[in-house]
Amino acid sequence: MGKQVVIVGAGAGGASVAAEAKRTDPSLSIVLIEQRSQVSVAACPMPYYIGDAIGDEKKLIARTPEKFRETGIDVRIDTRVEEVDPNRGRVRLADGATIPYDTLVLGTGTKPLLPGIPGEDREGVFTLKSLADAVRIKAWLKEIPCRKAIIVGAGFIGMEMCEALRNLGIEIQVFHRGTLPVNRWDREFSQAVLDEIRGHGVEFITEAAIQAIEEGNDHRLKLVTNHGDAEADMILMAVGVRPEVALAQQMEIELGESGAIRVDFSQRTLREGVYAVGDCCESFHRVSGRWVNIPLGDIANKQGRVAGRNIGGGSMVFPGIVGAQSFKIFSLEVAATGLDEREAARSGFLPISTLIWGNAIAGPMPENTKLGLKLIADRTTGKLLGAQAVGKAGAVSRINTLSCALWAGLTLDDIGWFDLAYAPPVGPAWDPIHIAAQKLRKEM
C-alpha cells in the first residue's frame, strides 16, 4: 500500500492536490476532508448563480465526491478536522476518530470577516464564502420575497452582488467605510465604478460606520449607522476575508508577513511533510519580490497542481504571480495587475505613473468606447511595475497583455513598441498600451 496523504480542505486548491497526486502516483492512499457538503466548488461564479445568470448550482461544482471516489480517493464531506498531531502524524476529527498520514496538505482557505457588531448573527444577515451560503441567499430571496438589500462593503464581492441583486429588481444600498469603491484602483477609476453603479440605481453611502443590526418594521432588518438607520429584507456582509490558519498555528507552522501560511516554491511549509495550497497560504510576487496572500481560485488551482505533482514523486515549482485580477460591474470591465504606487514604494522602487483615456477600438468605428489605462513604472530603470484599466470593452485584454509584460520583466521601451494585432473593430493602430507607455517614458 502506498503512502497516505491527508488533505484538509477540498476547495480549488485541495481538490487539485488530490487529483494531481493520484494521477502522478496511483499507489497513493489519499483522504480528502471537507467540512462542508460539497467539494471542488467554483466560488467566483456564485454571485452569477444568485443573480440567475447561472441557473443550476451543480454547474458550480467542478467534480463531485463520487467522481473523486471513482479514482480511489477517499472523500469525507461534512467532516471537520479538530486537531493535528504532527509528531505522531495523525489528524483528529470532530467525532473523535483519527486518521494517520505520511503527508499532510492544508487547503483551509479563508474565513469571512465580520465587523463584530450586535445582531450580525440575525436571520437574514449573510456572508458569501461557500456554495451553501449562495444557496441560502438564493432561497432567502425567493422566500421573502426580497424588495431591498443592504450590502456592507465595496470590494469585489460587494460590487458583483450589486449587479446580481439589482438585475433581480431588488433595491440596493451599499454602506462603505471609505469614499470610493474598490480602493485597489486609482481614484479616477474607482469613481468610474461608482458612477456605473449609481447609474443603475444603486445608492452608495460613504464614510459609513455600522453599529448594530436590529429588528425593523414588518420583520425586516434595521442597520444602525452613523448616518442613521436603514431597513432591508436582507443584509450581506462583504467586508473582506482572512486566511484560515487555525490548524497551522496549532501545529506551530510559521506564518508569513501577510498572516497566511509561509511556503516555498514547491508549496512545502517549514514543517517536514506538510504542504499548504490556496487561499490560506502565500505566493511569491514576481514584481515586488515579496511573499503575499491573494485569495483567488486560479492561484489555488495552480498551487494545488504543483503540490500534487511533488507529493506524487514528481518535481514542479509554482513560479509565482504578478497580481492580475479583474471583475465586471454591469457593463464595466475593471482590471489590474502588478503593484500600485504605494506597494511599489514599499518594495523599494521609485514609482512614476500616468493615466490616459483612449479608444478601446479604432476611433472611426461605430460603438467605440472609452478605455482608461494607468501604468506604473520604476523611475530609475523604466521597468513596468503595474497597470490598471477600466472600460466597457478591452480593459481585461489590455491587463492580460501587461501581465505578460510584468511576467517577463519588460520596460516601457519594450512595451511602447509591442507588436499587437490591429484591426479597426478590435483596436486602434496605436493601442492605449503604446500611448501610455510612450507617454510615461517621456515623463521619466
Q: In this structure, how many other beta carbons lie within 10 angstroms of the beta carbon of residue 362?
A: 16
Q: Cell numbers for 168, please give them.
A: 433581480
What amino acid is encoded at 243 in this protein? Answer: P
Contact indicator for 303, 277 with CB cutoff of 8 Å: yes
Closest CA to 394 of 346, 357, 419: 357
Contact indicator for 129, 241 with CB cutoff of 8 Å: yes
What amino acid is encoded at 24 in this protein? Answer: T
44 is catalytic: yes
Please count the CA atoms within 13 angstroms of the CA of 135 that sit on its side-chain side.
13
Q: What are residue 222's DSSP bridge partners? A: 214, 231
Q: Cell numbers for 367, please give them.
A: 460603438
Closest CA to 24 of 277, 306, 314: 314
Which class for 258: exposed (0-12), middle (13-18), buried (19 or more C-beta within 10 A)? middle
Contact indicator for 91, 79 with CB cutoff of 8 Å: no
DSSP symbols for 416-438: TT-----BTTTB-SS-HHHHHHH
Kindly tell me the sign of the dihedral angle through the C-alpha atoms of 146, 151, 152, 156: positive
Contact indicator for 399, 335 with CB cutoff of 8 Å: yes
Q: Tell me if residue 75 falls in helix, strand or coil.
A: strand
CA 38 vs CA 127, 178, 238: distances in Å: 17, 36, 22
Closest CA to 28 of 54, 5, 46: 5
Contact indicator for 14, 304 with CB cutoff of 8 Å: yes
Q: What are residue 125's DSSP bridge partners? A: 235
Which residue is it, cell 449609481? 198
Residue 219: phi, psi to the nearest 5? 65, 20
Q: Which of 44, 146, 281, 404 is an active site residue?
A: 44
Helices (H) and strands (E) in the chain, counts: 12, 25
Q: Tell me if residue 170 falls in helix, strand or coil.
A: coil
Closest CA to 371 of 351, 391, 399: 391
**Which positions are catalytic?**
44
